[in-house]
Structure 1
Amino acid sequence: MAVRVVVVDDHTLCRFGLTRLIGENSDLELVATAASVPEALERAGTYHPDVVVTAISLPDGDGLELTRKLRSLDERLGVVVLGEAGASVPLFRAMEAGASAFVSVAAPVSQVVTAIRHAAVAPGSFTADGLAEALEHRRRGRDLLTPRERETLRLLMQGLPIAKIGHYMNLSPHTAKTYTARIYDKLGVTNRTQAVMTALRMGLVSDEPAGTRPVECRAARRR
């Protein structure tokens, strides 16, 4: 039997392109399309697909949150996430959300087909082009920074001034400044913006919304 697929994307041209791609493969069958998170959940519940292919960015939500919901409803359902090219953070976020595969929007169409087939056969096993390299890159990056330096980096990413970073970490401003200087040196950058961009590219930190405070920071503040 053909693999039953639901495509989720708010861009008409993208849905059309994926629809045509699936139609060109006799072992795949498009059963529905959706342009939003509610539509995607409704289509999945109605058509019971084998695989859902979703964009990582949707107009009313996050394709990764959709992935979590779909996988919690049916662990046998495969989910392929289409996301930004050339960055490891979306790949890791898709993996952590429970996706079966991550495919760059710049990847050859053959990779999308391969990812759908993989998701249908092994929905609980994650795959992505360049996964091994990205994992090794992240491991090396994490080994590069000490735990305290990584904590400092997360606070730098949230835009906190050095004095505030010291306060949250129970450090003097001088020590917090020293940690910051070490981070810049190890990442080969000269300012906060470059440090954040480099850290995101290396997968050292996630792109959580600014203003979200790590648990240890809240605890430090209460002390």
Structure 2
Amino acid sequence: MEIRVVVVDGHALTRFGLTMLAVTYTDLKVVAEAGTAAEAPAVIAAHSPDVVTVAVGLPDGDGLRLARDLRDRHPALGIVILTSHGEDDVLFRAMENGASAFVGKDAPVGEITCAIRHAYVAAASFTASGLADAMARRQSTGRLLLSPREHEVLGLLSDGFSIPTIARMLFVSPSTAKTYVSRVYEKLHASNRSQALMAALRLGLIRSDTATA
């Protein structure tokens, strides 16, 4: 088994370091590099890697947005987000944008290689060191505590109802219903219904047997 990796990072030293790291492991091989978000799609299309590592900060854009685009284009691609900043918000953005793993650039070598291997075997499953602690902190700060009406809206979204239907069921105007939905998305760090329901499932706000994307 050889895991083919493309490295996307604006720093040549980081790209070189990951390439040299892969050389020391028989199951890893860096097949190509990209220094910008603009270069990455063509490089990935040309080399068909199993896993891509993406820096959060890229010279021409947001690595997390690139991760979202890559997930949409390549559902089976393993995506490892590498960051110099391990803040909870960045971790959760990585999770919601379809990353397979999230790891700090200063993490032990074993943690980085484990993240790449995880992304190879379970591209659709997210892993990160300290994820459980980050979840606990996020809930304890109250940032994810929905109001009773927002919980109600989330439940209706999970049942598959449209915004006009939600407005009628709640006896509010469509614009008010849209505002409620936008607040739910904001608190769940989501940009659409599917992302919101995925986040709500992970956080135990809804049950898997009730969610309809």
What per-residue deviation string (whole Å, max 9, x for no partner) do you get for residues 26-51 of structure 1?
A: 00111100001121111110000000
Assess, with a 3 A threshold, how the Cα gap between structure 1 residues 38 and 85 changes in structure 2: closer, same or farther: closer
Q: Structure 2: 5+ residue runs without aligned partners?
A: 149-186, 190-213
Matches within 5 A, 1:15-30: 15-30=15-30
| Aligned ranges 1:70-219 → 2 under 5 Å | 70-142=70-142, 147=147
Using the size of structure 2 for normalisation, the TM-score is: 0.67
Structure with the higher helix share, 1 or 2:
1
Over aligned residues, Cα RMSD in angstroms? 2.3
The amino acid that maps onto 2:68 is R
CA deviations 1:92-139 (Å, max 9, x no partner) are 010010000000122112111000000000000000000011111111
Larger Rg: 1
CA contact (8 A) 1:84 1:90 kept: no
Pair 1:6 & 2:9 matched: no
Question: Whole-Å Cα distance in 1 between the matches of residues 71 and 145 of structure 2?
Answer: 34
Q: SS where residue 124 of structure 1 aligns? A: coil
Shift in CA distance, 145/97, structure 1 to aligned 2, threshold 3 Å? closer
Q: Which amino acid aligns with 2:125?
A: S
Gaps of at least 5 residues in structure 1 are: 149-203, 207-223
* 1:4 aligned counterpart, secondary structure: strand
Amino acid at match of 2:89: V
Distance 1:120 1:109 in 2: 17
Name 2:172's counterpart in structure 1: none
Shift in CA distance, 41/136, structure 1 to aligned 2, threshold 3 Å: same
Take 1:142 and 1:88, find their aligned partners in 2: how far apart are those partners?
14
Shift of the alpha carbon at 1:86?
Answer: 4.1
Shift of the 77–143 alpha-carbon distance from structure 1 to 2, 3 Å rule, reads closer
CA distance in 1, matches of 2:39, 2:95: 23
Alpha-carbon distance in 2 for matches of 1:86, 1:60: 21
Which stretch of the first structure deviates more once superposed, 119-128 or 13-22?
13-22
- Determine the C-alpha separation between the residues in 2 that align with 1:129 and 1:57: 20
Query: Runs in 1 of length 4+ with deviation above 2 angstroms?
Result: 143-148
The 1-side partners of 2:72 and 2:188 are apart by 26
**Number of positions where the alignment pairs a residue of Structure 1 with one of Structure 2:** 153
State the alpha-carbon separation in 2 of the partners of residues 54 and 126 from structure 1. Answer: 15
Secondary structure of residue in 2 paired with 1:45: helix
Q: TM-score, normalised by structure 1?
A: 0.64
Contact 1:85 1:106 in 2 (8 A): no
- SS at structure 2 position matched to 1:119: helix
Deviations 1:135-175 (A, max 9, x none): 11111222796749xxxxxxxxxxxxxxxxxxxxxxxxxxx
Once the two structures are aligned, what percentage of the paired residues are identical?
50
